[in-house]
Amino acid sequence: MTCSCSGAVTQSGIFPRILQSAASMAKRKITVLRDAGAACDHPIDPSYPEGAYLTNILLRVS
């Protein structure tokens, strides 16, 4: 499991590419098992998209 708490990383969609790059450098294969954000007790205001800053990715590494 890995997480990002950065709006710039989450909103740009770069986080999965960073993980894939790191896996390639380590000569590993990753499979995304779950890609999630904040829990329901952390609502996101549609008028404030910057509030969607938390990303949680569960991976299988082989």
Q: What is the mean pLDDT of each run of 10 residues along the chain (62 residues)?
A: 89 90 98 93 89 93 97
Q: Which helix (H) or strand (E) covers residue 33, if one does?
A: strand 30-36
> Is residue 46 domain-resident?
no
> Does some domain include residue 10?
yes
- Tell me, yes or no, whether 20 lies in a domain: yes
At 16 the pLDDT is 92
Report the alpha-carbon distance of residue 47 to residue 11 in Å, rounded: 15
Residue 34: predicted pLDDT: 97
Quote the domain boundaries for residue 14: 2-41+51-61
18 domain-assigned: yes
User: Is residue 36 assigned to a domain?
Assistant: yes
Q: Is residue 28 part of a domain?
A: yes
Counted domains in the chain: 1
Asked if residue 29 is part of any domain, the answer here is yes
